[in-house]
Structure formats: C-alpha cells, structure tokens
Structure 1
Amino acid sequence: MSDGRFTLYGDRRSGNCLKIVYTADLLGLDYRFVDVDIMTGESRTPEFLAVNPAGQVPAVDFGGGRTLAQSNAVLVCLAEGTSLLPADVFDRAKVLEWLFWEQYSHEPYVAVCRFQMVYEGKPAEEREGWRVTKAEAALDHMERQLAGKPFLVGTRLTIADISLLAYTRLAGEGGFDLAGRPKLGAWIARCESELGIAGAG
C-alpha cells in the first residue's frame, strides 16, 4: 500500500516489529526505523503517544497524519496488491484467519514466554506454567497444519507465514524445543530462505 517513505517505530528484538521489517524489506519498501526502548519508557513519551496512543510498538507513521499500529494490520496495509496478500477472497480470508489466530492463540504465549526470558532475564523454569502449556499447544497446531504444505496458505509465502514466523523462529529463546517438530522446522527454513534472512540458530 505504501506509496512513499514511512517511519517504523519499534524494538529490533520484538517479533511484532520484525515481521514488519521482513515484509518491508522483501517488498523493497523505503522506510526509516526508529528504535524505541520499551524497557525504559520510551513508548510512553508524549512524542510516541502522538503516533500510537496505546503506547505500544510497533507503530508506523505514513505521513500526513496517517498512523497505524497493531503489527498484523500493518502487514495487511503493506502487502495490499502484492502476492503476499492473495486477491482470491477465500484465500485472503484464510490469511486473515491465521493473522487473528497468531495474535490470540500464539503471540500471547510463545512471545510472552520469550519476553520473560530475553527481556526480564528469567530462567525457563520461572515461566508461567499455563502460558507454556498454551504455547506448546500452538506450536503443535502449526506442526499439524503444515503437514504436506509448503506454506500456511496456498503454495506461496504470504503475510500469514511472515506473521507466524517472527516469534516461531525465536521460540527457542522462550525455552521451547522445536527439534521434535520437523514440519515446523522445515517451514521456518523455507520462510527464512524466501525472506533472505539468516537462521535463528
């Protein structure tokens, strides 16, 4: 959608910010990244709240008073008119289905466990047990859904894949072992290759 340079306010360690970076870089979009340290209150300054009153990263300023938050909403905006967002109504709806699922059933568990370890410095055993259980269930769901499929929707990379990839490829940093999920591992490698990014290791 973006027809000119935009500014992305974010945290380079955040999967929700990285998914926008992956999409923008793949599409060759012109943007400026402004680092926001969420741990020192930089997302709560008057200047930042003018861009996103919710005080969360990522936030995007397209200029002319057009600002947008919520990572998956930004993905839809950037991907409009490209192969990353199918034109077919049903396929598009399937992409949206995955985007909604990611924010409701994946990110609150996989990402928050990672936050507890990476940002707060907690050991794996101090993660919230109920959150760990839900995260494992989300990763198992993806493993099942990728059976016999190269990507989550259709045969090409879409923003559904990019959205789920961001935190899934970093799940090890949240204390999760993906070794027993070969389909998920192969999908991660496939997406990383498509996006031209190095493996998480």
Structure 2
Amino acid sequence: MNNPSTLKAQGSKPRQNREARQQHILDATLRCVRRSGFHGASMSHIAAEAKMSVGVIYRYFANKEAIIEAIVANDLAEMRAKFAEWENLPDDVLLDTLLDTLEMAVEHKYTGDNAALALEVLAEAARNPRVAAIVENADTQERELGRSLCRRLMPAGSEAQMAARGEIIGMIFDGMMIRAISNPAIDRKALLAELRHVMRVLFTMPAGPQD
C-alpha cells in the first residue's frame, strides 16, 4: 500500500513544477518590460528571454495582460503577508513598527528597475482597459488592507477621513516612483527623516472638521 505522505508529495510535485515555470516566465517578462517597455515586450521576446517556445508560454498565460495580472498578484501576496504581521502587533508598538519599515519602502520605490516597471504598467493601464481593471482591483485591495491599520491608529476618525488619509499616503508612495526617475540622487537619509515625521502626523493627528 502506498504511504499517504508519499502520495501527497507526488501530487504536489507537478504543482511545484508548474508554479516554478510560471515564476520563470514572470521573471523573464519583468526583464523584457524593463528593457523594452510593455509594448516592446512581445510574447516572442518573452519566450526567447525565458528560453521557451511561444506555445509553452501560452500554456501558462493567455496573453500579456494575464502575465501582468500574475505580477500584480505576487506583489499583493507579499503585501498581505506584511499586513498580517502588523495585524498581530500590539497597538502600542504598531506605529513605531510601521515607521521602521519606511527605510525599506523608500529603498524599494527608489530602485530604478522597480520604478520603471511600475510606471510601465501604469502607463499601459491608462490606455488598456484590461490592464486598468487589474490595477484598479489591486488598488482597492491595498486600500482595504491599509484601512484596517488606520482604524487602529486613528479610531476616532470617520470612514471618509481614513479613506482620505489613506489616499494621501498612496499619493506619497506612488509619487516616489516618479521622483526615483526625476531625482534619483535625492538625499535619502534626509528624505527618510522627514517622511517619518509626515507619516506620524498622518497616522496620529486628530481628524479635522468635515464640511
């Protein structure tokens, strides 16, 4: 009789192989998009970069939009994991922990390749409704994750106020991608010090009156 654990391991191997191939294709796509832009990264170029045939690529992804969707999904999965860590923190250390992660966030946003890729996807979203839907859906999920933290840090704020502050925070971090291209030589140490101050204000200052 077959050992159940052995059968489970055998059953998971094809899935692991498939996931590994999908990730290999995603990595090849990232390199192509960074090098040639979204439109320049054709499926044939992606296949060549991945050292696979175009037909094999299509077994895993129906089109480039599906590849972009998978890339965005990977980013969301990483974000959910980080938010899950924060959700388990006591309230009295939550803010300081968030502020401590800003250095990593700034480093990520100001990395030229990361900024270029994100801007390529956003530019494509501005003219491609399918990519726009992917980006909008991801943004909705990110805002929901952020709102749960805002409720803990600013319990007296209204939903509208928390949504507005979350939008401002999104504007700051999304704007970093543009600044990473426009002003890559910024003094990041000074930037980080001021950013910590701004974020502390956004997370803790009592909400102002609403009209």
| Structure-1-length-normalised TM-score | 0.29
Of Structure 1 and Structure 2, the greater strand share is in 1
| Structure-2-length-normalised TM-score | 0.28
